[in-house]
Amino acid sequence: MTRVLDLLLNVPRRYEDRTSTTALDAGLQPGRLVLVRGRVGAVGAKRTARRRRASLVSAILEDGRGVLPMVFFNQPWVAARLDRAREITAFGLLRRSPSGALQLVNPEIEEVRPDDVVERIVPVYSAIGRLAGRPLRRATEQALEVVERCPDPVGDELCSELGLPGLVESLRSLHAPPVPGDASARKQLVEELNERRSRWHRRLAFDELLALDCDMAARRGRRVRQRAPRCTGARGIDERARSMLPFALTEAQKRVVGEIAAELEGTVPMGRLLQGDVGSGKTVVAALAMLAAAEGGHQAALMAPTELLAEQHAATLGGLLGDSAGRIELLTSSVPPAEQRRIRSDLEQGTTRLVVGTHALIQASVRFRDLGLVVIDEQHRFGVVHRQALLGKGRAPHSLVMTATPIPRSLALTVYGDLDLSVLDELPPGRRPVRTVIRTSSSRPRLYDFLRREVEQGGRAYVVYPLIEASDELPVPALEASRAEVTAALPGVGIGVLHGRMSRAEREEVYTAFASGSLQVLLATTVVEVGIDVPEATVVVVEGAERFGLSQLHQLRGRVGRGRRPSYCVLLVQEDVSEEARRRLEVICSSDDGFAIAEADLELRGPGELAGTHQWGPTDLRFADLSEHRDLIEPARRLARRLLAEGRLEPVREGLAHYHRHRMATPPS
């Protein structure tokens, strides 16, 4: 903290209602916080007998109606302050002494003059280094004397239009709240302040969201000023879909394909986020977009976060597109070096138009002749830097960002504010609901019996573990440690293992065996979270389910329910699982709506570092809460885009950066 402004932006963590002075002849009760005012008498200080270093200061407070003893433990300097003071206020907790008399224990005292107004709402701050308590409050009060010098980056006109108070009013009121004359109004105001729901808190929250949206709008502005390659193959892509696909697109898919096709035909680079629930058909939409780019004479690249998912995408695209756009190449670190060199050469020469890969695609050695479309799957597992690295391999290519993890609209608009949003809100016919239950680890014997019956009836099962190997730090079930137990419990059943440490050849062998039915139970980590499609699978068991987020559990549940038979998801938890964790898991048991589950996950776990790399946990927003302030998100986004269109973005953005400078640590890319 280096600026006076930093003090003003250090919002109180709570507020104390000191708006009513209690007379000393009133019916005082122990356990109450009270504000009293009076003259000081009979000040004494001594060392306690039991602890030589402990000090005790005592005094009497009198207001002409009664007296009240005060005691201060280990605050020897208070004696001198009390001796000098003529009249003070004391705010503290009433307790009974060992003798049964009421007394104020360690109250906060302030010297007052006869004409001072002492009834007020008092801010309480978190310590800043060694600065805390009353000295921090005094420093903030001094900073308030120059609050008028703080320019309002939004301005009076826009504030009035948005129904928000001015910045100066908000800062002043947060540190020195006005005291309403009505008692019920005072109580309501203190509640709003303590819950950070006041109109002044909302103003700071809006500014912070707007600062983020201005960064996003600036990024969007740079994108739309570029000239993208026109993908003329997008014309008639819906007819191509009808002729080449063995199934009909859903109405949601048709709508989204139309949105994408219209942008691919233009010269403004598309930047679109495609999200949908598990099984909504995002890969089909991506395949058609890539086909449109290829048939328009350009190249298209799809980047996935894991080799397993990239392999699955390559196989799926091959099955959907056939030889319509030529051979679909797969580029990952597991591909033999000679094959990698051939693929890189073909991409540079332009003989390969479609490629699927992992981070290997953004290596400096990978060059494209004419990259027209970039598709990024599971975007939340990549950073902005990765996205920009792949886009930088073309001349302003179009981009389609996909996620199979439903993102709450509030979070999507905030984190991906530079992108347009398309939602697949319809599932293809034939998807069956999955019954989801919570079971404790003691129920494993019955669970193994259930798995055996499912296998005997033609079903297959996933058993998902949070760890590959056991850990002393995390006492949760691990795949390798459980392998022998599962094998012994299911004699005669084909059991395979799948995790990220296996080679590509090993993974392909296990997946093929599971898909064909020669393996009926697959012990795996979360590598099966996306991209695995085995319609015969009817059961997914998640060990240590309390360790997973709700959205991830919903993704894992999506591995089943793809065939004709009833399907089940079993969430196994430890015997001593907390009630809080159990209530959280009950959310997924009661809903199969991925977006509703994602909203619940957002409220329970937080949105993570919006400008960083961590996807979940405490947010790096200081003032805004994406659940509490969701009604401010779209207005902030609309205002940022309006400022961009009107050519007024940069002054507002720079002004907001003065207050929210962490947003400007790195310029938006």
The CATH number that applies at residue 39 is 2.40.50.140
494 with 386, same domain: the answer is no
Instruction: Answer yes or no: is 601 within a domain.
Output: no
C-alpha 277/C-alpha 428 separation (Å) is 11
Compute the Cα dihedral for 318, 320, 326, 328 and give only its sign. negative
| Whether residues 505 and 484 fall in one domain | yes
- Separation of alpha carbons 529 and 540, rounded Å: 11
Residues 252-298 pLDDT 10s? 999 999 999 999 999 999 999 998 877 788 999 999 999 999 999 99
* Residue 445 one-letter amino acid: P
3 has pLDDT over 90: no
**Same domain (yes/no): 349, 257:** yes
Asked if residue 284 and residue 258 are part of one domain, the reply reads: yes
Query: Which of 87, 103, 118 is a domain's end point?
Result: 118
What is each CA distance from 393 to 137, 369, 373, 389, 390, in whole angstroms?
54, 9, 11, 7, 5
Give the whole-angstrom CA distance, residue 362 versus residue 393. 8
Q: Residue 525 has what pLDDT?
A: 93
Looking at the structure, tell me whether residues 571 and 439 fall in a common domain.
yes
Co-location of 419 and 279 in the same domain: yes
The domain boundary, picked from 554, 573, 591, lies at: 591
List the domain range (segments joined by +) for residue 351: 232-424
Answer whether residue 237 is part of any domain. yes
- Name the 3-class secondary structure at 437: strand
β-partners of residue 109 are: 90
Tokens 């798995």 found at: 451
What are the residues whose beta carbons fall under 8 Å from the beta carbon of 429, sequence distance 6 or more?
A: none
Pair (466, 402) in one structural domain: no
Specify which of 235-249, 381-395, 424-438, 511-525 reaches the highest per-range mean pLDDT.
511-525
CA distances (Å), origin 638, targets 162, 166, 650: 11, 19, 15
Residue 354 shares a structural domain with residue 499: no
> Is 407 inside a domain boundary?
yes
Q: Is 59 helix (H, G, I), strand (E, B) or coil?
A: strand
Which residue, 525, 379, 410, is CA-closest to 463? 525
CA distance 649 to 669: 16
In this predicted structure, what is the pLDDT of residue 663?
A: 41
| pLDDT of 114 strictly over 90 | no
pTM: 0.75
33 found inside a domain = yes
pLDDT tens, residue by residue, 436-452 = 999 998 999 999 999 99
Q: Are residues 64 and 105 in the same domain?
A: yes
Q: Look at residue 669 in the predicted model and tell me its pLDDT.
A: 37
As for how many domains the chain has, the answer is 3
| The domain boundary residue, chosen from 424, 450, 473 | 424
Interhelix angle 579-589/594-605, rounded to 10 degrees, is 160
In contact, 656 and 210? CB cutoff 8 Å:
yes
Domain with residue 561: its CATH number is 3.40.50.300
DSSP code string of 193-208: HHTT-SHHHHHHHHHH
Give kind and range of the element (H or E) at residue 53. none
Tens digit of pLDDT for each residue in 147-198?
999 999 999 899 999 999 999 999 999 999 999 988 899 999 999 999 999 9
How many Å apart are CA 10 and CA 6, to the nearest integer?
A: 6
Amino acid making up residue 259: E
Q: Please tell me whether residue 214 adopts helix, strand or coil conformation.
A: helix
pLDDT at residue 250 above 60? yes
Confidence of residue 618 (pLDDT cuts 50, 70, 90): very low
CA distances from 368 to 94, 351, 490, 532 (A): 76, 10, 50, 29
Q: Is residue 484 a part of any domain in this protein?
A: yes
Give the pLDDT confidence of 227-244 residue by residue, as tens digits: 999 998 888 888 888 888
Token pair, residue 87, equals 């009249």
Same domain, 411 and 479: no
Residue 5 covered by a domain: no
Answer yes or no: are the C-beta atoms of 107 and 167 closer than 8 Å. no
In a domain, residue 44? The reply is yes
Name which of 555, 553, 530 is nearest 309 in CA terms. Answer: 530
Q: Are residues 457 and 576 in the same domain?
A: yes
Q: Are residues 414 and 266 in the same domain?
A: yes
Q: Is residue 400 one of the residues assigned to a domain? A: yes
- Which has the closest alpha carbon to 415: 155, 158, 258, 598? 598
